[in-house]
Structure 1
Amino acid sequence: MPLVTWMKSKSKLDGSLKSKIYNFLEKLQEDDTAPGLHIEPMHKPKDPRVRTGRVDLNYRAVLYRLNPAGEPHYIYIGAWPHDQAIEIARSSVLQVNPVNGVVELIKGSEPGTGDGEPGGTTVVPPPVSPDPEPGFVNGLISAGYTPEYLVEDLGIDAEVARRAIAARSLKEFSAVVDNAPEWQGIALIDLEAGKSLADVKEELGLGKYEDDETKSDDEKIREALEHPASKIQFAFIGENPQELKNIIEFGDFEAWRTFLHPEQRQYAEKSRNGSFRLSGGAGTGKTVVALHRAKVLADAKPPVRVILTTYTTTLAESLATNMAKLDPALAMSTKLGKPGVCVAGIDSLAFQIWSAASVVERSAALNLVFGNGDQQTTKRTDKDAWDYAAGSVDHGLDPTLANSTFLEQEYLSVVLANGVTTKDEYLKVSRAGRGTALNRPKRIAVWRIIEAYRRSNRMEDKASYAEIAALAAAALNHRASVGGPRPADHVIVDEAQDFHAGHWLLLRALVVEGTNDLFIAEDSHQRLYGQKVPLSRFGIHIVGRSRRLTLNYRTTAQNLAFAVKLLSGAEFHDIEDGEEKSSDYRSARSGPEPIRQGLESLNSELDLAADHIRRWQEEGTDGASIGILVRAKHQQSQVVSSLNERGIEVRSIDAAAADGEEPVVMTMHRAKGMEFAKVILFGVSESSLPQKHAIQGLADAERDDALLRERSLLYVAATRARDELVVTWNGKPSELLGTK
């Protein structure tokens, strides 16, 4: 039975070709001699291994046939109209890079339409501007690299190296990267951004290639396909037809399921002695790595119990869907504590554990968390519970301290995090990390409100989500103290920056501290809900097992530059309380500059949005690949009805799944974890961002934190765009947009 390897394309497959290519490759895997395939060699090709095959009457596939010991092995490059496929096949060569041993396609002519660029070394387009771009500094020149050095020491193609160093603008440099083999583009991006050559080589697994002359060229290519950098662009397609179908069906949008950067693969596969933290900007692949990590751990020692969790139910549903796509045969678990991968939101896990806890475990947990073993917790706390508690006692506090934001954060970060149950404990406990200082009288006053809050909840049998998480953790700890099992062997956390103290207590209680216990993926620049609480406070010790991803695979360089600028001037800290920077974020893709446009009226802004959506759809963009993001719910309903009135059919997305064919309108919060080809950030005016009620009446520290969250929200929204980003407002623009 022939083997097939797929070469990743930078372009999305044409919809009409998907089923035909799938049928062609499926038949090829079954029998490459089938007459309907018309697998034919070329007349006088540069590479005698090349073949073409019939996809339909107009399109032919380009393949390379290897004949190592055993079954024939085909490498599928792409499909193009007949004459173009013939020319590409005749002039291109598949080879092993003589410097580093990476498989590369060296192509001789440009394809036109079809399923995308072959992705091999090519003649890079000439510079588009005679003058340098203002403010652009080519980091390759600054670091002293020469074309000869990049060729001889790294294995970069000579023309690619020359053009990269000659680039005088971001547009020129991006054009070089876009037309280079993927590993070369990534290496150039890293070097231009200031990463050392040694680090680039280590992350890509590049070493000196030792040519084994006893092996045939086919054997060398087959072995070189296992090189970490080769796997960025070449993926072996197994016997599972669903795997092939998924790659063809989802194309470039979900290529991550098969193609991982060597650095990402290392984080997904390497065993560690304890907890591990992976940080990185939006689109750098943290979630991808988390999913692969879950599969690696589940496959390593079955039957094993793996929990994959995140902040919201919506994100958890997305993780479960992508987990099934990654490996449809992977054992999943719907019941906590059973073998397989259990995917659930963190609050859902807390409720499962607390609901299943025994009477003894509940009593012990209630004593540990509240100091009262008889309390009931059958209902959720009201949203205005803190305001009610503050208004029910004589506290004498300034309004900036007696408000729900400060009180809730104080309760989560200090009281719940440290298991405080009495006033004396609260007066002694450390408040490290809390921005607003409290002297002893103020602490006493705050405790009066906390007592009133707890008393009211106890009388009404209520508890907050955070309290349920803390109670669930305490119940698990009690169970373990009497010899009972923890419910997981490994826990993987996505979007960890949004977790609060109760969640961290629960995560620590889910699994015994030890080898591969906790894998934590987070981005502090996307913190919309969580708190800055050091992990060590919860018994989670990273101790050097922390790494950071900086290469963005989703967002174009132009859109990323816009998004990163939104973060400038603000200071962010990660969940280990270290300063988090964004200056080294970079993108592997290029595209048009974001459009920023202010309008005089709301109607004019809606007209502009309708024009953009209409243009995109006329150009062939799927409606579901267009997202219109707003700050508030009232804007969402207004935009939906107004666009529909303008003849643009759109749909509103709240908690429901985003299935459908029309463009979607949603809040920026709801868009977290999603991506679109085209995005409009609508209504980004001074009246909507930052939201006034989110920052009014707060003490300085809490106000600064609230502003950071608003800034992060805009950053999250901007990084949902893969290709085109449009930012609009009417009246005055938001202060968070800064200057152009």
Structure 2
Amino acid sequence: MTFLIADTFVKAVARLDNQSRKAAKLTALDLQMDPAGKGKSFHRIDKSRDENFWSVRASRDIRLIVHKTGERMVLCYVDHHDEAYAWAERRVFETHPTTRALQIVEIEERVEQPPAQDPATIPDHLIQQPVLPLANCTDEALLQYGVPPSWLARLRKADTDQLLDLASHLPQEAQEAVLSLAIGETPEPLAVEPEEADEALHPDAQRRFRFVDGKEELEAALNYPWDQWTVFLHPSQHAYAYRDYSGPARVGGSAGTGKTVVALHRAKWLSGKPGGKVLLSTFSRPLAVALTRKLGIMNGDEKRIVPTVHVASFVDAAAALYTLHHGREPYLAREADQKRILARHTDGITAYSEAFLWTEWRDVIDGWQLHRLEDYLEVSRTGRRSRIGKKQREDLWPVFEATRQTLIQRGMMTEAMLFEAVTALYTEKKEKPYSAIVIDEAQDLGPPELRFFAAIAPDDGNGLYFAGDLGQQIFQHPFSWKQLGVNVQGRSSTLTVNYRTSHQIRQSADRLLPEALSDLDGITSRRRGTVSLFNGPSPQVLKFASEGDEAEAVAGWLKQCLEDGIETHEIGLFVRDRDRLPRARGVAAAAGFDVETLSGSGRDAGDQIAIGVMHLAKGLEFKAVAVMACDEEALPLQSRIEQAVDEKDLDEIYDTERHLLYVACTRARERLLVTGTRPASEFLDDLGSS
């Protein structure tokens, strides 16, 4: 007998209290060891339309729902007695007649809603005909997307709002297709398996059922939420993760569409090829730690890693190769070190502000690793909107050259200098340190990092793979990848299925960004056509007369989250900058929470609410997020506005500030609160108000 576990069971386990959760897990493990259930009390669900649904007692009131046939047992659901039975009575196991995928189908329940007003009393010219997005879809068309036959008629008669609710009752593949059709998209038909194939092995069935082999694998499945369970990919993700390319490739998509999951699977797949040794790299060390953990979850046990995949941040990856070659670690100059050295060489220069000189050094001279005045005179200064002519550059060059030489004399190097040094080591070498490079958060690559990865990657079709979202670009100015020798044109794809963020939060956050974003090589990433797989409450966007009123409201919201069963470590509280952190700490204290102030070095495992600046929200996920202190001078940040030289520079600042708020808001899975005091940030009007 084969033993499977369904996503509905894992999600149900996560909703139980600790004692009930423990009982459910122990019973599940017992059933796996002995599917016959010796000593267990099986009861058939008599009122279910599916005669193979049974309940198994886990404790006095907790019941597991299993689907049991002669050759297969599936853990389906767990809850208190009445709720568990009610769940089974409303569902059946079916093999879809077209796709041949095994599905758990919810039985349609019709609830007739009385009209708000008798149509006979409304004048004809005021009666609006509802828009029925699927009215013209044939049975054959909907069946090819995995829609259960029993739901066809109801879906065709539903208007747009009704479809959003009905879709949440469908199997996942049908839900995605219905939501795409509702917004005018035409999704690809699903795979059709032959009749003799096992319906539980269909690619769509594998998104909700997992074959569990052994105690360790079952324990891992029960210990991690289903949305972190990255063993099986959505079919569209699978195509991008397991494809041979003819050159550098990139996958994009808005926040929550699974770019990181694709990167993980691609790294593991490439590592399994002959001679496979893969570098999986990301923007920061904390994000690299998170990737290592998820790579372990993919293998069923966090202690089991993929030995031929090396996970490291951009800087750590370069530092490791530098150390390997030179026999010593690089001495990296901190930002404060660079500023002090730069200041020593700018004494007497009054025509330019300290802020301008620092960013010119960081983003242009060091950022592009310019070694000669001629290079500085010719560089386009992409991302630097302030214009300076030839004479000004000639005056400034000695300052920057002296800064660089001082660093070298002290045996120090910037991160960009480190990337350049390692790039020089490997550019001409035929033998590269890795068989493939997979990069997550690729939107935050700068020119030195991109050159570095291009230099250490092998010269074959699968050598370089990037995953990122232009809408989350908050650390780097845009530049042309193609000009640096990395051309992903014709090999760029966009993911459109959002797993992490509710429809309501995603829809609200998307209002902060254009419908389409293009890089400097003309490759466009579109947000239209993205669909979220679940609903939630609408985000609350509130403006207050005073900081005291805001603090009271946010504290109340945090308490309500806790009362509704959201655990403290599943809550994030973010502000724009460090100056506003005391407001966040005060709110958390008023709500009675212990806090963990994010530092960029990773999260602790403690039961604390996470608070931090928006930049540190990157890569994190929470069930509930509050973004507060979004005042007029906070977003966009007034200190950045004051540094703007001209209108184009100001536009750049506004764009990056929008991206930053987008990143913070899309960390939320189910609940989002955004607040500010009047006059509040104009961005709040874009999000919407309630």
Give TM-score, length-normalised by structure 1. 0.82
Per-residue CA distance 1:359-405 (angstroms, 9 max, x = gap): 9x99xxxxxxxxxxxxx9664453526863773586x9776995432
Equivalent residue letter for 1:181: P
Shift of 1:358: 3.4
| 1:437 to partner: Cα distance | 5.6
Q: Measured at CA, do residues 626 and 379 of structure 1 come closer, stay the same or move farther in structure 2, by a change above 3 Å?
A: closer
Gap change, CA 1:128 and 1:30, over 3 Å in 2: farther
Matching of residues 578-589 of structure 1 within 5 Å: 578-589=523-534
**C-alpha distance in 1, partners of 2:57/2:147?**
34
What amino acid maps onto 2:346 in structure 1? G
Partner of 1:123: 109
**Structure 2 SS opposite 1:384:** helix
Asked whether the 8 Å contact 1:286–1:521 carries over to 2, the reply is: yes
Q: Which residue of 2 aligns with 1:65?
A: 68
Residue 206 in structure 1 maps to residue 191 in structure 2: yes
SS in structure 2 at match of 1:258:
coil
Instruction: Tell me the CA shift for residue 129 of structure 1.
Output: 8.0
Deviation of residue 139 (structure 1)?
8.1
The 3-state SS of whatever aligns with 2:224 is helix
Counterpart of 1:346 (choices 314, 317, 340) is 314
| Alignment partner of 1:263 is 2:236 | yes
Indicate if the aligned counterparts of 2:253 and 2:527 stay in contact, CA closer than 8 A.
no
Aligned partner of 1:157 among 148, 153, 158:
148
User: How far apart in 2 are the matches of 1:401 and 1:622?
Assistant: 42
Distance in 2, matches of 1:106 and 1:184, equals 11
Letter in 2 for 1:712: H
- Is residue 183 of structure 2 the alignment partner of residue 193 of structure 1? yes
SS at match of 1:661: coil
**How big is the shift at 1:87?**
5.8
Q: CA RMSD in A?
A: 3.4
In structure 2, stretches of 5+ residues that fail to align are 120-127
Query: Structure 1 residue 325 and structure 2 residue 297: aligned?
Result: yes
Could you tell me how far 1:346 is from its partner in structure 2? 0.8
Q: Would you say 1:608 and 2:583 are equivalent positions? A: no
Matched, 1:517 2:463: yes
1:576 shift after superposition: 4.3
* Pair 1:246 & 2:245 matched: no
Provide the secondary structure at the position in 1 that maps to 2:615: coil
CA distance in 1, matches of 2:4, 2:483: 50
Matched, 1:424 2:374: yes
Q: What amino acid does structure 1 have at the position aligned with 2:188?
A: V
Are the equivalent residues in 1 in contact too, given 2:437–2:465 (CA < 8 A)?
yes
CA pair 494-125 structure 1, distance change in 2 beyond 3 A: farther
- Counterpart of 2:122 in structure 1 is none
Contact 1:511 1:517 in 2 (8 A): yes
1:684 shift after superposition: 0.6
CA drift at 1:40: 5.4
Amino acid at match of 1:290: A
Matches within 5 A, 1:116-515: 122-123=108-109, 141=133, 145-146=136-137, 148=139, 150-151=141-142, 153-158=144-149, 160-170=151-161, 172-196=162-186, 199-201=187-189, 205-207=190-192, 212=195, 223-239=198-214, 241-255=215-229, 257-301=230-274, 304-327=276-299, 328=301, 332=305, 340-358=308-326, 379-380=333-334, 382-384=337-339, 388=343, 391-392=346-347, 402-412=356-366, 415-416=368-369, 420-428=370-378, 439-477=389-427, 480=429, 485-515=431-461
- 1:156 deviates by 2.0
Distance between the aligned counterparts of 2:23 and 2:529, measured in 1?
A: 42
Report the residue type matching 1:687 in the other structure.
E
* CA distance 1:262–1:297, shift in 2 (3 Å): same
- Matching residue within 14, 18, 26 for 2:16: 14
CA distance in 1, matches of 2:110, 2:258: 28
Moved more, 488-497 or 614-623: 614-623
**1:75 match:** 74
How has the CA–CA distance of structure 1 residues 563 and 129 changed in structure 2, closer, same or farther, with 3 Å as cutoff? Answer: farther
The CA distance in 2 between the partners of 1:615 and 1:486, in whole Å, is 54
Query: Which amino acid is the alignment partner of residue 470 of structure 1?
Result: E
The answer on 1:719 being equivalent to 2:666 is yes
The equivalences for 1:647-726 within 5 A come to: 647-654=592-599, 655-700=601-646, 701-726=648-673
The residue type equivalent to 1:341 in the other structure is V
SS at match of 1:666: strand
Tell me how many residue pairs correspond in the alignment: 672
2:550, 2:489 → 1: CA distance?
51
Q: Secondary structure at the match of 2:55?
A: strand
Alignment deviations for residues 10-30 of structure 1 (CA, whole Å, 9 cap, x no partner): 654313433223222222222
Deviates more, 1:709-718 or 1:644-653: 644-653
Which position in structure 2 is the counterpart of 1:56?
A: 59
Deviation of the 1:681 alpha carbon: 0.7
**C-alpha separation between the residues in 2 aligned to 1:710 and 1:280?**
19
Listed one character per residue, the Cα deviations across residues 493-540 of structure 1 (whole Å, up to 9, x for unaligned) are 111111111111111122212132112101010011023122223332
Secondary structure of the equivalent of 1:179?
Answer: coil
The amino acid of 1:281's aligned partner reads S
TM-superposed CA distance for 1:319, in Å, is: 1.1
Normalization by structure 2: what TM-score?
A: 0.88
Matched residue of 2:644: which SS?
A: coil
Task: After TM superposition, give the deviation of residue 36 of structure 1 in Å.
Answer: 1.9
Unmatched 5+ residue regions in structure 1? 109-121, 334-338, 363-375
Deviations 1:258-296 (Å, cap 9, x if unpaired)? Answer: 342111122222232332201011011111111122222
The amino acid that maps onto 1:146 is: C
Tell me the distance in 1 between the aligned counterparts of 2:79 and 2:387: 67
Deviation at 1:423, TM superposition (A): 2.3
